[in-house]
């Protein structure tokens, strides 16, 4: 549906480089990255607001790289909604109909019903709540009948209790209208909830494109690993022809003797027990501390000079009788180990 290849965008003082990815028809695609990674610039380039210096954008096989935004069937909803403050909700939603009357395939009234904003039509944007603004901005973008909808951090400005509701609505739009969606987020917890595929953007470059599972369990680089919450990152040591992870032999990196590697394990995959663990990667250590993170306990265990982190339920903490200063075993199964290039 959308094919982006070797895109380079220079927007002082910022550059996007080597951006290549594809999005299929009807997909809910995510772009994940920290603030300042260039996510919004990327969306704006797809929308035609900035033109790239290099590279191509194909939409359904048609080259739209230098097509102006008003001629592209692509809608955008910004994080701050960017509603026209001098127009009522109805005028905002019908704005596109002044220019694209013939193209509308879903009447604006149906959209209003679909999003449940019929009671807001005569109001001005500055009198709306965050969730209402969000729906109006969505309706306005959809009234132009886009083939592709770009969402720039649509949930981050909402109250936490509204996020789930609005997120569900976005999924419904994607599912029921068959709309292709690209959503930008800096919150990696949103990735599992919404997207089937995710692109990770760092410093203007695509660091990885894959399923949420791949990005979370097999991050392509150290910075991606840190960003997606892989909190246990331990440098591997070389011993002869093999590699050691805190003294335990790791066999499957022998083919890459010249590279420097880190071993990574997600804290939710790490187990802590007062008894020896049946894992190839397990060590004896000392509990340094426990923090209640709301539902889960983050337990820190010192092994030699390295601190390993594990997430345990309150029930597990009580069952194991874990206390600071206590000697425990900590480890994880072989399938939970990932190797990250430094």
Partner 1 sequence: MFFLLYPLLHAFWVTNPSILAQTCRDREVINSLLTSFKTASAATSIATVTGVPFAYLLARREFKGKKIVEGLIDLPVVIPHTVAGIILLMATSPYTWLGSFLKRAGLDFVGTCTGITIAMLFVSFPFLLNAARDAFAGVPVRLEFVARTLGAGPLAVFFTVTLPLAWRGILTGMILTWARAVSEFGAVIILAYHPRTAPILIYERFETYGLAYAQPIAVLLLLVSLFVFVLARLVAGGKDSRAGSQQPGS
Positions that interact with partner 1 (CB under 8 A) = 12, 44, 47-49, 68-70, 72, 74-76, 78, 80, 82-86, 95-96, 98-100, 124-126, 140-141, 143-144, 146
Cβ-based nearer residue to partner 1, 126 or 335: 126
Q: Which residues pair with 315 in a beta bridge?
A: none
Percentage helix, strand, coil for the chain under 3-state DSSP, each rounded to 5: 30, 35, 35
Give how far Cα 39 sits from Cα of 16, 48, 185, Å. Answer: 9, 14, 8
Cβ-based nearer residue to partner 1, 95 or 192: 95
With CA atoms as reference, report the closest residue to 78 among 130, 14, 114, 11.
Answer: 130
Describe the crossing of helices 130-143 and 108-115 by its angle, rounded to 10 degrees.
150
Task: Tell the smallest beta-carbon distance from residue 38 to partner 1 (Å).
Answer: 16
Task: Tell the smallest beta-carbon distance from residue 28 to partner 1 (Å).
Answer: 20
Residue 94, C-beta contacts closer than 8 angstroms, at least 6 positions apart: 108, 143
Cβ-based nearer residue to partner 1, 7 or 83: 83
CA separation for the pair 76, 79 (Å, rounded): 10
Task: Tell the smallest beta-carbon distance from residue 23 to partner 1 (Å).
Answer: 17
Cβ-based nearer residue to partner 1, 48 or 212: 48
Task: Tell the smallest beta-carbon distance from residue 177 to partner 1 (Å).
Answer: 18
Cβ-based nearer residue to partner 1, 85 or 325: 85
Give how far Cα 213 sits from Cα of 57, 180, 247, 291, 332, Å. Answer: 27, 21, 28, 26, 18
CA separation for the pair 22, 318 (Å, rounded): 48
Cβ-based nearer residue to partner 1, 154 or 285: 154
Q: Which residue has the tokens 């002044």?
A: 98
Task: Tell the smallest beta-carbon distance from residue 144 to partner 1 (Å).
Answer: 5
Cβ-based nearer residue to partner 1, 126 or 258: 126
Task: Tell the smallest beta-carbon distance from residue 158 to partner 1 (Å).
Answer: 15
Using the 8-state DSSP alphabet, how is residue 111 labeled?
A: H
How close are the terminal C-alpha atoms of the chain, in Å? 34
Task: Tell the smallest beta-carbon distance from residue 195 to partner 1 (Å).
Answer: 22
CA separation for the pair 184, 182 (Å, rounded): 7
């Amino acid at each position: 549906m959308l094919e982006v290849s070797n895109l380079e965008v220079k927007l002082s003082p910022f550059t996007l480089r080597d951006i290549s990815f594809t999005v299929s028809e009807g997909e809910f695609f995510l772009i994940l990255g920290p603030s300042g990674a260039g996510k919004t610039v990327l969306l704006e380039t797809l929308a035609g607001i900035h033109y790239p210096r290099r590279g191509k954008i194909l939409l359904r096989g048609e080259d739209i790289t230098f097509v102006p935004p008003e001629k592209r069937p692509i809608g955008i909803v910004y994080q701050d909604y960017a509603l026209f403050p001098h127009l009522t909700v109805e005028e905002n939603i019908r704005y596109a109909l002044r220019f694209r009357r013939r193209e509308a395939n879903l009447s604006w009234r149906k959209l209003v019903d679909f999003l449940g904003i019929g009671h807001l039509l005569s109001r001005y944007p500055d009198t709306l709540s965050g969730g209402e603004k969000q729906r109006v901005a969505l309706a306005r973008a959809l009234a132009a009948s886009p083939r592709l909808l770009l969402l720039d951090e649509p949930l981050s400005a909402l109250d936490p209790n509204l996020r789930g509701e609005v997120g569900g609505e976005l999924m419904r739009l994607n599912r029921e209208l068959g709309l292709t969606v690209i959503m930008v987020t800096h919150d990696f917890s949103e990735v599992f909830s919404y997207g089937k595929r995710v692109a990770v953007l760092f410093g203007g470059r695509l660091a990885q494109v894959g399923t949420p599972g791949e990005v979370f369990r097999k991050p392509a680089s150290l910075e991606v690993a840190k960003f997606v919450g892989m909190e246990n990152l331990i440098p591997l040591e070389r011993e002869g022809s093999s590699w050691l992870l805190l003294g335990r032999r790791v066999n499957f990196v022998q083919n890459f003797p010249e590279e420097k590697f880190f071993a990574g394990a997600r804290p939710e995959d790490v187990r802590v027990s007062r008894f020896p663990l049946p894992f190839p990667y397990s060590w004896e250590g000392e509990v340094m501390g426990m923090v209640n993170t709301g539902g889960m306990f983050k337990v820190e265990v010192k092994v030699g000079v390295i601190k390993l982190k594990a997430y345990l339920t309150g029930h597990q903490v009580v069952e194991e009788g874990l206390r600071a200063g206590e000697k425990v075993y900590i480890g994880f199964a072989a399938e939970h180990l990932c190797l990250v290039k430094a």
